[in-house]
Chains A and B, each alone.
Chain A
Amino acid sequence: EIVMTQSPATLSVSPGERATLSCRASQSVSSNLAWYQQKPGQAPRLLIYGASTRATGIPARFSGSGSGTEFTLIITSLQSEDFAVYYCQQYKNWPAITFGQGTRLEIK
């Protein structure tokens, strides 16, 4: 099983600032990496796939990068609606796909 480790567990950032979230895979997943956003009481929403491609309707302030084992999600100019939990997911090793444990992005 490929273990996905996200850091930090909680990130406190002020609105308008930039947030940097990290995801590390225990072995290479190439670019088979997706990011999701989940708000309380809601289902997750796809943000990024292929490590760096924004999903339909996702604002340009969300960007993904990385390949292999190290990945980053950057959110610039944080808006109030961006404060949520973010999950990374590898889909290289299907069907045994795995998610990270999540990073909670909170208002500072």
Chain B
Amino acid sequence: QVQLVESGGGVVQPGRSLRLSCAASGFTFSNYAIHLVRQAPGKGLEWVAVIASDGRDKHYADSVKGRFTISRDNSKNTLFVQMNSLRAEDTAVYYCVRDADIGAADYYFDYWGQGTLVTVSS
């Protein structure tokens, strides 16, 4: 079965960095775009970033552009997100999410990881 397992969350001070990982299994990872979606405590959903199936194309929400970098290693079925210059408003559960369409991204999501909590606080 399709699984996405995030790791790397934790408590970090403002201005510091954190690296999230997402291990995928149960499907051909290299065939799908992967997204990052976050949810602040008690709040709604916010799309953060996407990386194309081959890793060449990436897009970011304005709120994280220039601070977050998404990458992938298709040989290891793993997604990475480097989060720099973290702010209090980045506090959220971060979900690794599979695009529903094979190949090109369609930007809706059929499988979600369980999420990893990132807390930015001094």
Contact (Cβ within 8 A) A99 B46: yes
Q: How far is the CA of A71 from the CA of B100 in the complex (A)?
A: 20
A100 touches B44 (CB 8 A): yes
| Bound CA–CA A54/B100 (angstroms) | 13
State whether A43 touches B114 (Cβ < 8 A). yes
| A101→B44 contact, CB < 8 A | yes
Shortest A91–chain B CB gap in Å is 4
CA separation between A44 and B50, bound complex, in Å?
18
Q: Are A94 and B44 in contact (CB under 8 A)?
A: no
Is A55 in the interface zone, CB < 8 Å from B?
yes
A107 at the interface (CB under 8 A from B): no
Interface residues on A, range: 20 to 34
Residue of B44, B60, B106, B108 most packed against chain A (CB within 10 A): B108
Task: Digitize B20-63: 1 where CB-to-A-CB distance is under 8 Å, 0 elsewhere.
Answer: 00000000000000000000000011110010000000011100
Among residues of B, the one whose C-beta sits closest to the C-beta of A42 is B114
**A97–B60 alpha-carbon span in the complex (Å):** 11
Residues of chain A within 8 A of B95, CB atoms compared: 43-44
Q: Do A43 and B100 touch (CB < 8 A)?
A: no
Q: State A81–B61 Cα separation when bound (angstroms).
A: 33
- How far, in whole Å, are A91 and B46 apart by their CA atoms in the complex? 13
Tell me if B9 counts as interface (CB < 8 A to partner A).
no
Query: How far apart are B87's CB and chain A's nearest CB, in angstroms?
Result: 20
Q: Are the CB atoms of B47 and A98 closer together than 8 Å?
A: yes
Closest CB in chain A relative to B22 CB, distance in Å: 12
Residues of chain B from 71 to 106 with CB closer than 8 A to chain A in the complex: 95, 100, 105-106
In contact, B109 and A46 (Cβ under 8 angstroms): yes
8 A Cβ contacts from A10-68 to B? 34, 36, 43-46, 49, 55-56
Additional A-B contact list (14), CB under 8 Å, known A49-B100, A99-B44, A99-B47: A34-B109, A36-B109, A43-B113, A44-B45, A46-B100, A49-B108, A87-B45, A89-B108, A94-B59, A94-B105, A95-B50, A97-B47, A98-B47, A102-B45
Give A contacts to B, CB under 8 Å: 34, 36, 43-46, 49, 55-56, 87, 89, 91, 94-102
Between-chain CB contacts (< 8 Å), 7 pairs = A43-B95, A44-B109, A49-B100, A89-B108, A91-B107, A94-B59, A97-B107
